[in-house]
Amino acid sequence: MIDMSPTQSVAPYAGLTFKPRRLRFDRADEARMMGACGSDTRLFDGMIDPAAFIPHAIRESALNGVTENGGVNMVQSVRMESPLSLNEEITVSGAITEVVAVPRGVVTTTETFYHGADGRPGMILKRLALKTDPTKAADPALRGAGDRPPPVIVDPLALDLLGSEQLTPDAVKTYSLGTGNLLHVDPVSAERAGYRAPIVGGSQGVRYMTAALWREGTPRQLDLDVFFRRPIFWDDAFEVRAEGEKGARSALCLSRGPKVLMEMRVNRIA
């Protein structure tokens, strides 16, 4: 696990730069999170699932003073320049590039960079997230969180069905073990933020889609944009669907009937 010992909390601001550090991903953590999503580390053949970098980048912000609690993913870009291995030492750095006030809090833009042991570029992540105040109950009249990007998928029922999933609170808590964001594990905190129940972390949903891509091949380079359209609650059921030809998908989504919960645009896959 990443050391999440308390650090002095700071309000996010544009220009906040993260201190570079070296690390190795934990195989046991990866096995736990993949298992909670019905997958297996063997699927990625020793490489790190790109979805694993999403919570890692969030926690990197926390290590630099920006607490996870109250954060909700909106848009996540994931670019894999080269696969990174569970066995290698990785260097991570990053910064907050923009902070914009919206009715429900602030929207932050954060960029995080991962380089391999030989210095090669590995992963580049860019995240837009709504940060609410976890000490205050949400005003149900305040729905604004900035402009919403146009949909990637209009009719999920027209896409290939790759699988169906049923979440459980126990599985979500297992996946979220050690999280600093109570929205994923605590019903009271979720209710105060305006949700009927805890919601899954963005990376948990993304793992269902990256696993679907890897089951059809082994990408060596990847450029993805992930959009979080609706909250996925810890007791939800959903389908995994994909657009395009097998092995060359152009988009994937998690949907409930005709409603898209989370969607992924595949800008490049090689």
Token pair, residue 258, equals 């005709």
Is position 10 within any domain? no
Q: DSSP string of 110-149?
A: EEEEEE-TTS-EEEEEEEEEEE--TTS---TT----SPPP
- In this prediction, residue 141 carries a pLDDT of 53
Q: Is the pLDDT of residue 94 over 70?
A: yes
Domains of the chain: total:
1
Residue-number span of the structural domain to which 54 is assigned: 17-138+151-269
pLDDT range class, residue 2, cuts 50, 70, 90: very low
Mean pLDDT, rounded, for 154-179: 96
Predicted local distance difference test score (pLDDT) of residue 230: 94
Domain presence at residue 201: yes
The residue type at 205: G
What pLDDT is attached to residue 1?
A: 37
The answer to whether residue 52 is domain-embedded is yes
Residue 99 lies in a domain: yes
Rounded CA-CA distance 83/121 in Å is 9
> What are the tens digits of pLDDT across the range 134-156?
555 555 554 444 567 899 999 99
Stretch 219-238: mean pLDDT, rounded?
A: 96
Residue 11 falls inside a structural domain: no
Q: Measure the CA–CA gap between 94 and 110, rounded to whole angstroms.
A: 7
Residue 217 falls inside a structural domain: yes
CATH number, domain of 257, equals 3.10.129.10
Residue 145 forms part of a structural domain = no
State how far the Cα of 127 lies from the Cα of 201, in Å rounded to an integer: 13
**Tokens 């019903």 belong to residue:** 187
